[in-house]
Each structure stands twice: as C-alpha cells, then as structure tokens.
Amino acid sequence: MGMMKKLLYSLLIILLVASAGFTAEKKIRWKLAMTWGPTLHPLSDTAEHMAEIVKELSDGNFVINIDASNVHKAPFGIFDMVKLGQYEMGHTASYYYKGKNIAFLPLTTMPFGMTAPEQYAWFYYGGGLELMQEAYTKHGMLAFPGGNTGNQMGGWFTKEINSLDDLKGLKMRIPGFAGQIMSKLGVTVTNIPPGELYTALERGTVDAVEWTGPGMDINMGFHKIAKYYYTGWHEPGSEVEFLINEKEYNKLPEKYKKILKIAMKTAAYDMYIQSYEMNAEAWQQMKEKYPDIKVKVFPEEVLKEMKTAYDNLVASYEKESPMFKKIMESKRAYLDKVRDWTHISDYLYLKSTSESNLN
C-alpha cells in the first residue's frame, strides 16, 4: 500500500503541475498604446472598454493593459511601435500615417465623403474591412474600425472667413486629406498632438484649430480664444482604428481571436454613440453658457474651391498609389449605392418633419 500511495501521490503531483502549466499557457498579457491622453473622452475610453470586454469574455485569461500618450510619449508613433512589436496593439487614426502609405488616408475618412453609418456599412458589408487588411498586412499589421466621431466641425477660427483671401497665410492645425486641401488654398497647415492644441492656439502658433465636435472641443477650451466655429465639410465620419501586430495576433487561440474582434466592434460602435451624446449635450451647453460663439458655414466660393482641390488631389494620388485608387473606387461605388437611401431616410425625413414645416 505504501508503494501504491507513493505512486498515486506522484501521479497527482504530475497532474497538478501539468494542469498549472496548461492554465499558464492560456493566460495572455498584451499591451496597447493609444494616441490619446487618458482624459480625452470618448477616444481614451474606447480602448479601455475593449480591454474590459476581452478580459470578461476570456474569464480574466486575456488581459490588455493600456498606455496613454502621457506614458509612452509618442502620440504619433503608434504605427511603428505596433509594427516593431513594442506593443501588440494600438489605438490611433490611419490618416496620421499617410507618410507611410498614402492609401491609409481614406481608411479614416475623406472630405465630401461617407457619413459614419455609410462608412460602417462599407467596412462590414461593402468590402472595406478586406481592403483595410490588404493595406496593413504589407506592414505586418492588421487593422479594425476603432470608433467614430461622427460628422466633425470645420474648426475654431480667430477671425471670420468671408472669402478665399481670408484663408491665405492662415496658420491652422488640420490633419489628413483636409489639411492638404487647406494647404492648396493658401493655409499654412500643421499637425499638432491633441494635448498641445490649446497652448498652440493661445500662443498664436496657429490661428485656427480643427479637432472634432462640441463634445470634445468644449473641454479643450478653444472657445475662450477663437469665437468663430465653422461647420464641417472635411470629416463626415472619422473612424479611428485598432492596430494589431499580425505575428502576435496569429499566436492567439481561435477563441481569443473571436473575443478580440467582438470586443473591438462593440467598443467602436459605443464610441460612435457616445460621441453623438456628448456632442448633443455640449451643444446645449454652448448655446446657454457661451452665446458669443458664432457658428458659421464656409462661403460657397470657399467650398467650391475646396472640392476642386479635393478632386485634383484624389486624381493625383490615384496615379501614385494603386492601393489608394482601389480603396477610393470601392468607396465611390458604395457611396453611389447608399447615398440615395441616406437622402431619403435621413435628409428628407428631417426636412419634412422639422418644426418649421409642421407649425
């Protein structure tokens, strides 16, 4: 019996060690770097929300720790940090990396382009997600929609824009394709990290800043310096993104891959509706507390010139980059299909049921 007990004890120890080893293998710890600071809501909330879902659905075995820009100190370095494996994931915006690949521009948004619902439909049902992977896998990464700001405002200006001449020599923070268009119109364009925008405006480093919409803008304090708030034309549905190191992703068990995709999609859409709520709430506050803010629409002369510059730039980039052209052709074809429905379902509904029409 003594020998039998020893044998049983030995087998039990082996089983316990093997079980512990199996459990340890299933535990995964990732790091995510985001472009945003920890208080830049709702952008900063989105990665945290995604990580919470992953942890919950994996019973705590898959944990993603988040580093905001105040930790890693490289808000526009997310692309390289994820590509090099310093972080397994990133939360950023593709148009910040147009210097890496011009085809990244239309994966965020394009002037005069899709609204957020139209673009989400394109990503998930119109081939957009597949094109997103095609663009990023060349760099050893995968990319997924990471949240939408909705239609953005056109920026805060220290002076009124009445003509094209008012734009010439103006210094403005505006990224992406819109920044290139503004440059064609004579604006001196710069891309300043979010945490430095207020200081740049306050010190006169820039005369105008474009950020997002009332929900995020009001907390930045731009209205204290620049009183002219222009409506949007340039970012009708700005999608930020989750970047994933492809090698690290391929190491995940299939179950965790599915969990990660569910978490990213859920958190992304939540950011969109959170942005909508924040914008509506902030807009009410702005009307009540800051009545001196002047909401303006760019003059028709300016908008027409913007559209001309846009068309010329798109044509130029399509010659330069087959991938850019492929994405743009896909987006145009899909927009041709869905815009009529947007017009009927949203625009005509709002127009026909407005108070002015019913009273």
Can you give the pLDDT at residue 5?
Answer: 41
Residue 97's nearest CA partner among 128, 143, 55, 52 is 143
Whether residue 152 is annotated as binding a ligand: the answer is yes
Closest CA to 331 of 118, 117, 179, 135: 118
173 is in an annotated binding site: yes
CA distance 131 to 8: 57
CA–CA separation, 32 and 13 (whole Å): 37
The class that CATH gives domain 13-147+237-277 is alpha beta
Give me the pLDDT at residue 195, please: 84
Q: Is 80 exceeded by the pLDDT of residue 235?
A: yes
Give the SS3 label for residue 64.
Answer: strand
Is 70 exceeded by the pLDDT of residue 268?
A: yes
Q: How far is CA 104 from CA 17, 215, 218, 327, 340, in A?
A: 48, 26, 29, 9, 27
> What's the number of CA atoms in the CB half-sphere (13 Å) around residue 59?
4
What backbone phi and psi angles, to 5 degrees, belong to 156?
-100, 125
In this predicted structure, what is the pLDDT of residue 171? Answer: 97
Lowest mean pLDDT among 55-59, 125-129, 191-195, 317-321: 191-195
Tokens coding 8: 């049983």
Model pLDDT for residues 337-354, shown as the tens digit of each residue? 999 999 999 999 999 998
β-bridge pairing 239-245 and 188-190: unpaired
Q: Return the sign of the alpha-carbon dihedral for residues 237, 241, 246, 249.
A: negative
Domain positions in the chain are 13-147+237-277, 152-234+292-320
Sole residue written with tokens 């050893």: 140
The answer to whether 233 is a known ligand-binding residue is no
pLDDT, one tens digit per residue, over 167-224 is 999 999 998 889 999 999 999 999 888 889 999 999 999 999 999 999 999 989 999 9
- Using one digit for the tens of pLDDT, what is the confidence trace for 43-94? 999 999 999 999 999 999 999 999 999 999 999 999 999 999 999 999 999 9
pLDDT at 23: 47
Q: For residue 11, what pLDDT band results from cuts at 50, 70 and 90?
A: very low
In whole angstroms, what is the distance from residue 31 CA to residue 132 CA?
22
Confidence at 359, pLDDT banded by 50, 70, 90: low
- Please tell me the class of the 152-234+292-320 domain: alpha beta
Report the pLDDT value the prediction gives residue 207, as an integer from 0 to 100: 98
CB 75 within 8 A of CB 36: yes
Is pTM beyond 0.85 here?
yes
Query: Is 339 known to sit in a ligand binding site?
Result: no
Mean pLDDT of 149-178: 95
Q: How many CA atoms are closer than 13 Å to the CA of 14, on its beta-carbon side?
A: 6
Indicate the pairing of strand 171-173 with strand 208-209: parallel
Whether 335 and 114 have beta carbons less than 8 Å apart is answered as yes
Task: Find residue 296's DSSP bridge partners.
Answer: 230
With H, G, I as helix, E, B as strand and everything else as coil, classify residue 75: coil
Average pLDDT, the chain: 92
Residue 100 is predicted with a pLDDT of 96
Closest to 264 in 3D by CA, of 124, 138, 134: 124
pLDDT, average across residues 6-15? 42
Torsion sign across C-alpha atoms 185, 191, 197, 202:
negative
Beta strands in the chain (DSSP E): 28-34, 62-67, 89-92, 141-148, 155-157, 171-173, 188-190, 208-209, 228-230, 239-245, 294-296
Average pLDDT over every residue of 281-294: 93
235 annotated among ligand-binding-site residues? yes
Q: Do domains 13-147+237-277 and 152-234+292-320 have the same CATH topology?
A: yes
- Residue 6 pLDDT exceeds 90: no
